[in-house]
A and B are shown apart, each in its own frame.
Chain A
Amino acid sequence: MSVSTKNPPLAATAKDDSQVRQKQMIAAHYARLARASESGEKNVYTFVPGNLTELLRSFDLLPVLPEINALQSGMRGKSAEYIALAEKLGHSEDVCTYVKCDIGMLKSGNVGPTGERLPSPDLLLLSYTGCFTFMKWFELLKQEYQCPVVMLHVPYQAEGRITDSMRAYVTAQIRQKLIPALEQVAGRKYDEDRLKECLARSAQAEEDLVWVLQSAKNRPSPIDAWFGAVYYVGPIFSAFRGTPEAVEYYRALRVEIQERLTKKLGPVTPDGMMTEEKYRLVIEGPPNWTSFREFWRMFAEEGAVAVASTYTKVGGMYDFGFRHDPERPLETMAEYCMGCYTNLDLSTRVGILTRYMQEYEADGLLVNSVKSCNSFSAGQLAMLREVESRTGRPVGFIESDLVDPRYFSASNIKNRLESFLQMIAQKRGGAA
């Protein structure tokens, strides 16, 4: 979800059609946001998990995703400065760095990833899904902006399923709170037919995305399903789900990956194509953005490729069959919100990881635990043990952070990663 426009990390694939397309989409989107005050277009700040992009788009509202801005700041080397500023303003060292990075960016003029100013929000849509920090985040933003906030409380799937009561609660909030607020901001009526069109396009893009992610079941995997895949999920998790551009992007991406598959090519890494796939890993947790390339390189150098990851499911779980259903527009959106990875209980998460290990024939599970995110991290160690005992395959654990460079210790991570990979090798009886 992150093509750095200034400094494309994927130099080698910069010419790929999908890559170019994504870059253009993002650039155009930010340009549109920058012009919003002149053009009179309205925008809504919201979060990635449980985002209701189709609904916003059906009102011609532009989504802004502070999380994406934060991770972009991390990739562009701005986050340290932003976090320092937020801490200076009284934020604790202990809390989620996405929030601090965003606050810091806001206080430094709200200049977005493309160097253009972001507009102030016309509405804060607090899609409160899978993370309590979201609530604090928008409470903090509410102090800065004189715009309305809508709290969309998305209940947690504690029992691993969606009950009628939960579905009714979310749909009621969408219908009775959110839609009226959007009508107010957009100055137009809710148009269900438009929404349905968007949802149909979402389903189409989702279909292609799932195909791409599942291509990793092949040997060698044509993609890296963690580092590489954060680019693939970008359009669908952020501002573009439900747009024709997203449909085209995923179509093009699928064609490209199909081609790699036919040629039996491995994934493209920061140092070019991976020639030998030595380790197939399932990865749990988000990556680190401040040293993204360095981090990726550590894996690539060892011939380790991610064949499946959970981070690429934070903006929606599609691989077990969920697709947006245009026939039940509000219910489907409610179900989508409740189905994001971080809104699932831990045993379901363990089940997913175990399935990935088996279906993708992985050699091991690696957890990257990020200091910022309790939603992911609290409980990861228990999950790790559980997956280990269910699959009998090696598990590894590394720690870093999303956008706080102080918590990325390259030598420490490298040491653990190497030990983990050597452990896999030893277990296979390969190298001694």
Chain B
Amino acid sequence: MQYCVGIDLGSTTTKAIVVDEQGKVLGRGITNSRSNYDAACAVAVSEALHDARFAQIAGELEGRGIDADRRAAWVLDLERGFREQQYRAQLAHLDGALQRALREHGRERGHEAELETALATILARMAAEPRELFAAGANRKSDFFRDLAGSRYTEHAGMLTRVKSETLSFDALVGLFDKAILDVEAKVAARSDFAEHAQRAAHELLERSRELEQAIERAAAVPMEEVSSVGTGYGRARLPFPRSRIRSEILCHGLGAHVMFPGTRTVLDIGGQDTKAIQIDAAGIVTSFQMNDRCAAGCGRYLGYIADEMNLGLHELGPMACKSTRAVRINSTCTVFAGAELRERLSLGERREDILAGLHRAIILRAMSLLSRSGGVRSEFTFTGGVARNLAAVGALRKLVHENYGEMTINISPESIYTGALGAALFACREWSHRELAA
């Protein structure tokens, strides 16, 4: 099967979308690895291809007389099992990387033996967890290995060092993890273990089925051929593509939003380090845009620091902020000081959810200014980028758009983080058809 791929190499996450020659979306992939651009691209693409394979599996199961709900449940369970297998495989990498880190850096800290025992304990505890972590309905902090493993690791490390020990320090243990994870991210990259993980996952399902296993085999056997690719995003100058295959984020977001919601005239994208307000016409062509200047205040990364500070997952922030009844007014939004601001407010006795609500509102207020600068909200409006996944941010945005521009259709889709990648994929698709026509 031939496919075109669009990659949005963001500052925080890398997103990939694969489409067929008609521009139909086959699969989506995302990773938060930031340490290595090539690896990040490779991981995102392979995740997107996995996603495409699951769609194929679902397709293979169709028309075989299996009840639709049951089919859907199979695929869902299969995916969950697949993630668990991936997680296990990565844990194994982590183990190796931790040992290496210990050898390299443990000595300078002394107490290698004690650290080694502690590591063994932590890893053993972590190895026992995946089943539970990936159980249906389980509340995971994140789907990214770095976050997930990181939070489990710190928790176990915290428990081990709670008993006051002269020699075993929490910081040393965490330091080892922070070293090792870089290694894992760089290495894990693109090996496609799809069939292996999927079959193993299928074996572990409660309800085993021959049909499913065959579907996996068939789907895994379909050859996938990349015919065209376009990259965009913050890191686009470093993408492993020629210049001609790189498009500005503005155009990609504009086109992506247009395809998702054809009535869109205004697009707001809040990513990790930048915010863009884009106006497009009826054909998805950009007519004007504004971006934040060199200050990253009020972007998604801000929420990242807040989440770290509160030891929460990113997706937990929004719901907590939504519980607020009275948002605290926040003035400074220097991203790096987010944690300090939070601490200060807490110590002034403000309620946590009210502070959070205030922080979200502050971010959206900044975005509102950019929006206004780009020409305001004239009619249908689409909110994209990672922060669109945050309920409290969305809530604040709805309210402010309503107050300032009146009733408007506001589109927010769970896929909105992929908007830029989608636009890029469509540019890739066009580029390919031009080539085909020319040939």
A427 is an interface residue with CB less than 8 A from chain B: yes
Within A399-432, the residues touching B (CB, 8 Å) are 399, 409, 411-412, 415-416, 418-419, 422-423, 426-427, 432
Q: A432-B430, A432-B431 are in contact. Are A423 and B294 (CB under 8 A)?
A: no
Contact residues of B with A, CB < 8 Å? 237, 247-251, 285-291, 293-294, 373, 375, 427, 430-431, 434
**Partner among B237, B285, B294, B375 whose Cβ is within 8 Å of the Cβ of A426:** B285
Q: Which of A411, A412, A415, A426 is within 8 Å of B286, CB to CB? A: A426
* B287 with A394: CB separation less than 8 A: yes
CB-CB under 8 A from B289, the residues of chain A are 419, 423
| Contacting pair B249 A419 (CB below 8 A) | yes
Q: Name the B residues within 8 Å of A412 (CB-CB).
A: 293-294
Whether the Cβ atoms of B287 and A422 lie closer than 8 Å is no
Give A428's nearest chain B residue, CB to CB.
Answer: B285
| B427, closest chain A residue (CB) | A432
Given contacts A432-B427, A432-B430, A432-B431, contact A397 B250 (CB under 8 A): no
User: Cβ of B247 and Cβ of A388 under 8 Å apart?
Assistant: no
A385 on interface, CB distance cutoff 8 Å: yes
B248 and A422: CB pair below 8 A?
A: yes
Bound: A422/B247 CA distance, A: 8
A399 contact set on B, CB distance < 8 A: 293
> Would A419 and B287 count as touching, CB distance under 8 A?
no
B293 neighbours in A (Cβ, 8 Å): 399, 412
Min C-beta distance of B107 to chain A, whole Å: 40
The reply on A381 being an interface residue by CB < 8 A is yes
Distance (whole angstroms) from the CB of B428 to the closest CB of chain A: 11
Q: Which of A397, A416, A427 is in CB contact (< 8 Å) with B287?
A: A427
Q: Collect the chain A residues with CB atoms within 8 Å of residue B287's CB.
A: 394, 423, 427
Point out the residue from A394, A415, A423 that lies within 8 Å of B251, measured CB to CB: A423
Q: Given the known A-B contacts A385-B375, A395-B288, A432-B431, are A419 and B248 also in contact in the complex, defined by CB atoms under 8 Å?
A: yes
Given A423-B289, A432-B431, A381-B248 contact (CB < 8 Å): no
Interface residue SS majority, chain A: helix
B237 / chain A contacts, CB cutoff of 8 Å: 411
Contacts of B286 in A (CB 8 A): 419, 423, 426-427
Q: Which of A371-402 contact B (CB under 8 A)?
A: 381, 385, 388, 394-395, 397, 399
Minimum CB–CB distance from B255 to chain A (whole Å) comes to: 9
Chain B residue nearest to A423 in the complex (CB): B286
CB neighbours (8 Å) of A388 from chain B are: 288, 375
CA gap between A401 and B291 in the complex, in Å? 18
Residues of B within 8 A of A418 (CB): 248
CB distance from A400 to the nearest CB of B (A): 11
Given A394-B287, A419-B250, A422-B247, output 10 extra A-B contacts at Cβ < 8 Å.
A397-B290, A399-B293, A409-B294, A419-B251, A419-B286, A422-B250, A422-B251, A423-B251, A426-B286, A427-B286
Query: Are B373 and A416 in contact, with the CB atoms below 8 A?
Result: no
Name 8 interchain pairs, CB-CB below 8 A, sorted by A: A385-B375, A394-B287, A415-B291, A416-B291, A418-B248, A422-B248, A426-B286, A432-B427
In the complex, A423 Cα to B249 Cα: how many Å?
11
From residue B143, how far is it (CB to closest CB) to chain A in Å? 30
| A416 neighbours in B (Cβ, 8 Å) | 291
Query: Which listed residue (A409, A415, A427) contacts B285, Cβ 8 A?
Result: A427
> Are B431 and A423 in contact, CB atoms less than 8 angstroms apart?
no
Could you tell me if B288 and A426 are in contact, using CB atoms closer than 8 angstroms? no
**Least distance between A405 CB and chain B CB atoms (Å):** 13
What residues of A have a CB within 8 angstroms of the CB of B434 in the complex? 432
Min distance, Cβ B176 to any Cβ of chain A, angstroms: 34
Check B373 against A381 for contact (C-beta < 8 Å).
yes
Query: For B431, what are the chain A residues with a Cβ–Cβ distance below 8 Å?
Result: 432
Minimal beta-carbon separation of A277 from chain B (angstroms): 20
Distance (whole angstroms) from the CB of B243 to the closest CB of chain A: 10
Which of A395, A416, A422, A423 neighbours the largest number of chain B CB atoms within 10 Å of its CB?
A: A423
Q: Which residues of B contact A381 (CB under 8 A)?
A: 373
Q: B375 — which chain A residues lie within 8 A by C-beta? A: 385, 388
A381 to B434, CA, bound (A): 38
Name the one of A385, A423, A427 contacting B250, with C-beta atoms under 8 angstroms.
Answer: A423
User: How far, in Å, is A359 (CB) from chain B's closest CB?
Assistant: 23
User: How many Å lie between the Cα of A231 and that of B102 in the bound state?
Assistant: 62
> Nearest Cβ distance between residue A285 and chain B, in whole angstroms?
15
- 6 nearest A-B residue pairs (beta carbon): A419-B248, A419-B250, A423-B286, A422-B248, A432-B430, A426-B285
Q: A7 vs B258: C-alpha distance in the bound complex, in angstroms? A: 49
Q: Are A415 and B290 in contact (CB-based, < 8 A)?
A: no
Nearest chain-A residue to B237 (Cβ)? A411
- Looking at A395, A411, A422, A432, the one whose CB has the most chain B CB atoms below 10 A away is A432
Chain A proximity of B55: nearest CB distance (Å)? 27
Residue of chain B at shortest CB distance from A414: B237
B290 partner residues in chain A, CB cutoff 8 A: 397
Please name all residues of chain B whose beta carbon is closer than 8 Å to the beta carbon of A395 when the two chains form the complex: 288
Which residue on A lies nearest to B250, using beta carbons? Answer: A419
Which residues from B are CB-within-8-Å of A419?
248-251, 286, 289
A432 nearest CB neighbor, chain B only: B430
Report the minimal beta-carbon distance from B418 to chain A, rounded to whole angstroms: 20
Give Cα distance in the complex from A419 to B434, angstroms.
22
User: Closest approach, in angstroms, between the C-beta of A411 and any C-beta of chain B?
Assistant: 8
Alpha-carbon separation in the docked complex, A248 to B291 (Å)? 46
Instruction: Select from chain A the residue with minimum beta-carbon distance to B426.
Output: A432
Given the complex, which residues of A lie within 8 Å of B427, measured CB to CB? 432
A residues 234-274 near B (Cβ < 8 Å) are none
Query: Which residues from 11 to 48 on chain A have a C-beta closer than 8 Å to any C-beta of chain B?
Result: none
In whole angstroms, how far apart are the Cα atoms of A432 and B283 in the complex? 12
- Looking at the assembled complex, report how far the CB atom of A337 sits from the nearest CB atom of chain B, in whole angstroms: 34
Most buried by B among A381, A409, A411, A418: A418
Q: Within the complex, what minimum Cβ distance (angstroms) separates A104 from chain B?
A: 24
A415 surroundings in chain B (CB, below 8 A): 248, 291
Nearest neighbor of A388 in chain B, beta-carbon distance: B288
- The distance in angstroms between the C-alpha atoms of A388 and B279, with both chains bound, is 13
Minimum CB–CB distance for B3 against chain A, Å? 19
Q: Which residues of B contact A423 (CB under 8 A)?
A: 248, 250-251, 285-289
Docked complex Cα distance between A411 and B293 (Å): 11
Q: Which residues from A are CB-within-8-Å of B288?
A: 388, 394-395, 423
Q: Roughly how many angstroms separate A418 CA and B248 CA in the complex, as a whole number?
A: 7
**Alpha-carbon distance between A415 and B430 when the two chains are bound, in angstroms:** 23
Residue numbers in B under 8 Å from A427 (CB-CB): 285-287
